[in-house]
Copies of this chain bind each other. A is one copy, B any other.
């Protein structure tokens, strides 16, 4: 127990050890393992026996080294602790797993510097592909990935002119779509509640698009923290002229809804409320939340497939646009 540095993987049997006890060469053991049909049944069994006896387990690193493959893909997300990213990663992992790839995840906290650092770690552990969130990244990230000859894909965004392939949706259009729903219901005075734009390019795109709405639609923007508390705080006091609230995230919408309920306000009777994301829970709220549905799981599957296809067949990764749509539910109503 006093072995300091070598307490781990002490004297693990190698393929040579197995060969020795089986009375064959290492190459034969390798063959017995990888192409059993090319080995006589007799020796195969001696090898199997020897493997059991020595407790041999193949060294994955050596295998990876010689094949040059790790079957590992890395994903960088702002946080794991948000339903949207979990759903994305869940789909990503499921699909990668189908294709026999592993998923390494790293969280960036929305900090580009952290992102670069973590990307470098992923690269230096041998990921064969890198999936990032959003479009704004340090140039260094692109450079590193390119030098490592590792494909890089951006998600949660569709922007065909970007420097890297994007798999996602058009955030600007989605925001307008959402707003249009409220406008179509007759609302002209709308509060837009959103998270920090400084650290989130998706939010910024959505806000920018809304700012470009026709001037007859009065929009007032409220930036708050991207959590339930933030959503609640944003509605504690607001212009009574506002007849509808558009939250650029369902988390904010839920925070707002619960606070409104606590304040005794009726949704949608007193005010229409709309979210953005369409989390699992949104459809089950009372009232069910009208929201902009984002095809998150699909995005995860597509990203996985794009990377795998590149890795397996060399197919260049193409940007793909997924369509966001309004999920009309009970939290929005025509202006009385």
Selected from B93, B106, B125, B258, the residue in CB contact (under 8 A) with A80 is: B93
Q: A13 — nearest CB in chain B belongs to which residue?
A: B147
Q: Which of A1-51 contact B (CB under 8 A)?
A: 3-4, 7-10, 12
Q: Mark A313-326, 1 if CB is under 8 A from B, else 0.
A: 01000000000000
Give bound CA distance, A336 to B314, whole Å: 69
Instruction: Answer whether residue A280 sits at the interface, using C-beta atoms and an 8 A cutoff.
Output: yes
Let me know if B65 and A62 touch, CB within 8 A. Answer: yes
Number of residues from A at the complex interface, CB < 8 A = 70
User: Can you name the residue of chain B whose Cβ is closest to the Cβ of A2?
Assistant: B314
Indicate if the CB atoms of B105 and A93 lie closer than 8 Å. Answer: yes
Contact segment of A81-89, A130-138, A176-184: A81-89
Is A262 interfacial (CB-CB < 8 Å)?
Answer: yes
Given known contacts A61-B64, A64-B61, A123-B60, A228 and B72 CB-to-CB distance under 8 angstroms: no
With both beta carbons as reference points, the residue of chain B lying nearest to A122 in the complex is identified as: B102
Query: Within the complex, which residue of B4, B71, B72, B280 is in contact with A314, where a contact is CB–CB below 8 Å?
Result: B4
Tell me the smallest distance from the CB of A6 to a CB of chain B, in Å: 9
Instruction: Check A147 against B57 for contact (C-beta < 8 Å).
Output: yes
- Chain B residue nearest to A79 (CB atoms) is B90
> Which chain A residues in 82-112 approach chain B with CB under 8 Å?
82-83, 85-87, 89-90, 93-94, 97, 100, 102-107
In the bound complex, how far is the Cα of B286 from the Cα of A281, in angstroms? 15
A242 at interface, CB cutoff 8 A: no
Task: State the A residues within 8 Å of B (CB).
Answer: 3-4, 7-10, 12, 55, 57-65, 68, 70-72, 79-83, 85-87, 89-90, 93-94, 97, 100, 102-107, 118, 121-126, 128, 147-149, 227-229, 232, 254-255, 258-259, 261-262, 280-281, 283-286, 311, 314
The 6 closest A-B pairs by CB, nearest first: A80-B90, A7-B314, A228-B284, A261-B286, A60-B126, A86-B86
